[in-house]
Amino acid sequence: MKTTPFTHFHEELGARMAPFAGYSMPIEYSGIKDEHNAVRARAGVFDVSHMGEFWVKGPKAFELVQRLTSNDVAALADGKVQYSCFTNDTGGIVDDLLVYRFSANKYLLVVNASNIEKDWNWCVKHAKALEMDVERELENASDRICQLAVQGPRALEMMQKLTTENVADMEYYTHKEISFAGIDSVIISTTGYTGSGGCEIYAYNADADRLWNAVMEAGAEAGIQPIGLGARDTLRLEAGFCLYGHEIDDDHSPIEAGLGWITKFVPGNDFVAREYHEHLKEVKPTRFMKPFELLDKGIARQGYAVEDAEGNVIGAVCSGTVSPLTGKSIGTAYVKRGFEKLGSEIYIRVRNKALLAKVAKTPFF
């Protein structure tokens, strides 16, 4: 099993470790509720070094990324970041990802840890189809880069202490390559997976110890905490963000998943299977991924059946938890057409009981 350059810190801090995407990762330190609320109130530090990073360079870099991703890469300027997804040949999603533009000929793709090999093979396949020099123009840098996500309303204020560059006022979904924490070059981006603001910081593995110590020291006075993957999941669900393997997968279109806003049918954006998704948008899907709140007492879990008032199965739960911030039982589910409108009543089958829920909106806080 792989470890990250920060693993020894997690172990020293007494984190509960568990396997995730082939890595030994911290699940929790002080407890999911405490860590979750620390991020909402102040700031927390996540080790997300297990994520994948692919460089795409050269004269055909834009053409490749535009072909692979559903969003419109032409809308990106240098220093901007875009949320997007790889669409597959059969109407589903290979993965969701972030696209960083450094120049017209240089992009960084940040993908999910569980999909690194699949995503890399997908990129290589399409690069070869464009007759790109895969050895020189594509680089899987995943094993050489470490990453910390510093999330929360005070995160950027804390990180400003570690650089002379202005990071506190960076716009949402932008990035800079700067000197940071005594490290000559890191990438800092105002992105994240919590809904509470903050940044993500990329460095080479050799600088991991210096980065971790500096970040923790800079945030100590304001109560920064290390955060595990348990709270990362409750935070992203509370914020309404998709998780691959739950809300999105190889069998669901971004149109069905509520990701039409990153699926751009503009001239020149001929991404994989565009015609399928464009037609689906026109005719409307027969199923929709929707957030919900349980009105009866209980917790929904992935795979639980969703029913109508007569007990007919109309869908299935993607994710579910009790919000550590509000105490409400929340989740997401795919439901049949006709049940997707805000406030629609649905029922979640939990331990042979049909619990009343309603279609809600996100974020849940």
Render pLDDT for 104-145 as a digit per residue (tens, 0 to 9). Answer: 999 999 999 999 999 999 999 999 999 999 999 999 999 999
182-233 tens-digit pLDDT: 999 999 999 999 999 999 999 999 999 999 999 999 999 999 999 999 999 9
pLDDT class for 36, splitting at 50, 70, 90?
Answer: very high
Q: Which CATH class is domain 52-140?
A: alpha beta
pLDDT average, residue stretch 11-25:
97
Quick one: pLDDT at residue 105? 98
The packing angle between helices 229-239 and 32-41, to 10°, is 50
Alpha carbon of 316 to those of 134, 273, 363: distances in Å?
41, 26, 21
Query: Which residues contact residue 69 at a Cβ distance below 8 angstroms, ignoring those fewer than 6 apart?
Result: 82, 84, 85, 86, 97, 99, 271
Outline which parts of the chain fall under CATH 2.40.30.110. Answer: 286-365
d(CA 247, CA 287): 12
Report the DSSP beta bridge partners of residue 63.
Answer: none
Which residues, in sequence order, are CB contacts of 250 under 8 Å at separation 6+?
88, 90, 92, 93, 94
Confidence of residue 336 (pLDDT cuts 50, 70, 90): very high
pTM for the full model?
0.97
- pLDDT for 154 equals 98
Are 89 and 156 within 8 A, CB to CB?
Answer: no
Residues of CATH 3.30.70.1400 domain(s) within the chain? 52-140
Give the tokens for residue 325. 């911030």
Residues written for the chain:
365
Domain 7-51+144-238 is found in CATH 3.30.1360.120? yes
pLDDT tens digits for range 283-327: 999 999 999 999 999 999 999 999 999 999 999 999 999 999 999
Domain with CATH 3.30.1360.120 in the chain: 7-51+144-238
Q: Output the pLDDT for position 221.
A: 94
- How much is the pLDDT for 35? 98
* pLDDT score of 93: 98
Fold of 286-365: Elongation Factor Tu (Ef-tu); domain 3 (2.40.30)
The predicted structure's pLDDT at residue 17: 98
